[in-house]
Amino acid sequence: MTIATAAWPLDWHEDWASYEAKVRDWVQRGIDKGADLLVFPEYGAMELASLGGPEGAADLDRALDEVVAHRPAMDALFEMLAMDTGRHILAPSGPVIEDGRRLNRACLYGPHGLIGHVDKAIMTRFEREIWHVEAGEGLRLFDTALGQIGVLICYDSEFPLLARALCEAGAEILLIPSCTDTLAGYWRVKVGAMARALENQCVTVQSPTVGDALWCPAIDENRGTAAIYGPSDKGWPDNGIVAEGAPDVPGWVVATVDLDKVLESRGNGAVMPFMHWPEQAAQAADVRIFTEAPVPGFAEDRHDS
């Protein structure tokens, strides 16, 4: 299967036609590169806030509400593109309102339409304390013609048990859409994505937002690199990087992966962390604390020196 993962710039749009043209162009360029699966980033939907004008886009609550208002049209657009092209597409995540709660939702579409959605499970401090976006309930595994696909939205990738649960359920690929405004944030997600590929002997796919969108304080700065990772094991790149773009440069990063190699790594890898994962429990349950006996006069002598 060929995967295209987007480093997605957040652009200003004067009208819906501008946004639709951009999306159509990106999808077509991904298909031209041979992609069977196209992956878009976390909060990529936030550029729809520009349709509310400068004042609305500059206000955190109004920006979210504007995106929510256009969400049905965005969902319909990506569903139509997936069906018309016969591709699988993880659309950009963005806010929805459900039972009075703000959620950060990403939808996966296939040749037959909507496959399902996933809501971000663990919220960052900004989402909790300022934006008041709430956590979803549970994880989702998508059984598709391409393979077993799980989605961990940005911060979720930094929590190993979420990925483990998806992979124990059968996930061979973990899609990790991200939106980070600092290099430190980008590296946290990158390290998480690579670690999840290592632990679960699977493929992980990071799709970030990139560039400045100073017209909206929620997404004003974006740092990242699109990449596809695998386990550092025989049959995979030694460094675990299957494909990686340039930092902060918009565009598609594309690679072809063989999911049979995931099964091979899990069943007969040079190391087998996926199989050996349960062995942690007994060791972790037996933590012994040893306290060094003080050496008379040592602390005082060290201080004096």
Q: Which residues contact 61 (CB under 8 A, 6 or more apart)?
A: none
Q: HSE (CB half, 13 Å, CA atoms) of 18?
A: 10
Contact criterion met (CB below 8 Å) for 244 and 269: no
179 catalytic? Reply is: no
Q: Which residues of 100-131 are buried (b: 16+ CB within 10 A; e: fewer)?
A: eebbbbbbbbbeeebbbbbbbbbbbeebeeeb
CA pair distance 39, 60, nearest whole angstrom: 26
Among 151, 88, 142, 160, which residue's Cα sits nearest to residue 119? Answer: 151
If one counts every other C-beta atom within 10 angstroms of the C-beta of residue 153, the result is 25
Residue type at 196? Answer: R
Neighbours of 44 (CB within 10 A): 26
Angle at 110 between CA 40 and CA 76, to 5 degrees: 70
Phi-psi region at 53: left, alpha or beta (left = phi > 0; alpha = psi -120 to 50): left
* Catalytic-role residue among 42, 47, 79, 158: 42
Catalytic residue (one of 79, 120, 202, 244): 120
Whether 127 is catalytic is no
Main-chain dihedrals φ then ψ at residue 130, nearest 5 degrees:
-115, -50
Q: Which of 79, 127, 154, 216 is catalytic?
A: 154
CA distances from 276 to 172, 231, 266, 282, 300 (A): 17, 15, 10, 12, 47
Does the active-site annotation cover 55? no
State the pairing for strand pair 227-229/203-212. antiparallel
Tokens standing for residue 277: 């994962």
Which residues are annotated as catalytic?
A: 42, 120, 154
